[in-house]
Amino acid sequence: MADLKDTDGERIAKFLARAGVASRRDAEKLIEQGIVTVDGKTLTTPAFKVTPAMDIRVDGTRVGKPEKTRLWRYHKPDGLVTTHKDPQGRPTVFDGLAGRLPRVISVGRLDLTTEGLLLVTNSGALARRLELPSTGWARRYRVRAHGRVTQNKLDKLQDGVEIEGVQYGPVRATLDQVQGGNVWITLSINEGKNREVRNLMRHLDLQVNRLIRVAYGPFQLGKLGKDEIEEVPGKQLKEQLGAKICEEVGL
């Protein structure tokens, strides 16, 4: 294997992320597991630099030259797990996308019973960048929940709230409709912590029975039908991401 100092190219972790194998952080874990090889030799450091001409493999499967960065909107139905392999054998988002898209990873996750907009990309670097709270993009949801709540109570979430020792940031919530024993609420958050929306609703004595993500930053679910996929055109993607992010992810 060529000496690191003498090798032109980019770091292996970044290469694998751009190739859509995994995020840069997860690529480092793959290297730690000893399943990444370059020209037949097991890699031991994520700092090693590679070029597309090298024989780069993950668990025996060759990784080709990174493709151009692409992003798709996917209308995730409920009942799918947002993971590549589920230990419990439940159907996954990526099982459903197999054969319809190249290898992709998701931008964040939606839990099993949450439906709506899920962004998927062939770029680990882009996925990681769009997940960061510092990106400042709001995640907007439509929530149907059993119980009663007033707009005044929802307004109290605007300054953030601590629930069971976890601090949640500012929440913008609007009471849209009362329907039988349920209420419909439109809610926007910026961090997207684990089960954040459900925890916030439970804090208000509401039991979520339907949760739909309708927007992630500038990208909207719109009229995309369940299980439908639509690619974000390259020009629109660059406009929405801005020059700084485009430079970071190689667009």
pLDDT of residue 66: 65
Shared-domain flag, residues 149 and 27: no
**Which token pair is 74?**
């996917």
Per the structure, the complete domain to which residue 104 belongs is given by 71-134+219-249
Shared-domain flag, residues 37 and 89: no
pLDDT of residue 115: 96
Predicted confidence (pLDDT) per residue in 213-248, tens digit? 999 999 999 999 999 999 999 888 888 888 888 877
Q: How many domains does the chain have?
A: 3
Sequence letter at residue 144: R
Q: Which helix (H) or strand (E) holds 243?
A: helix 234-249
DSSP letters for 156-195: GGGG-EEETTEEE---EEEEEEEETTEEEEEEEESS--TT
Shared-domain flag, residues 145 and 124: no
Q: Decide if 3 is catalytic.
A: no
pLDDT of residue 1: 45
Predicted confidence (pLDDT) per residue in 105-135, tens digit? 899 889 999 999 999 998 888 888 888 877 7
- What CATH number did the domain enclosing 100 receive? 3.30.2350.10
Q: How many helices (H) and strands (E) does the chain have?
A: 7, 17
Q: Which helix (H) or strand (E) holds 76?
A: strand 71-76
**Which token pair is 93?**
């988002």
- What CATH number did the domain enclosing 193 receive? 3.30.70.1560
Predicted confidence (pLDDT) per residue in 135-186, tens digit? 778 999 999 999 999 999 999 999 999 998 889 889 999 999 999 999 999 9
**Which token pair is 201?**
């609703």
Sequence letter at residue 111: D
pLDDT of residue 114: 94
Give the β-pairing of 36-38 and 41-42.
antiparallel
CA distance 56 to 14: 13
Distance spanning both ends of the chain, measured CA to CA: 30
Shared-domain flag, residues 128 and 90: yes
Which of 104, 63, 56, 55 shows the shortest CA–CA distance to 84? Answer: 104
Cβ atoms of 129 and 247 closer than 8 Å? no
- What CATH number did the domain enclosing 50 receive? 3.10.290.10
CA distances to 138, 150, 152, 164 from 174, rounded to whole Å, are 15, 9, 10, 24
Predicted confidence (pLDDT) per residue in 56-104, tens digit? 888 888 887 667 889 999 999 999 999 888 888 899 999 888 889 888 8
Shared-domain flag, residues 95 and 208: no
User: Which residue in the list 78, 111, 155, 227 is annotated as catalytic?
Assistant: 111
Cβ atoms of 113 and 78 closer than 8 Å? yes
In this prediction the pTM is 0.74
Shared-domain flag, residues 142 and 210: yes
Shared-domain flag, residues 146 and 203: yes
Shared-domain flag, residues 228 and 126: yes
Cα pseudo-dihedral 246, 217, 122, 232, rounded to 10: -90
* Residue 3 pLDDT > 70: no
pLDDT of residue 21: 81
Shared-domain flag, residues 88 and 147: no
Shared-domain flag, residues 187 and 244: no
Calculate Rg over the CA atoms of the chain.
21
Shared-domain flag, residues 130 and 143: no
Shared-domain flag, residues 128 and 169: no
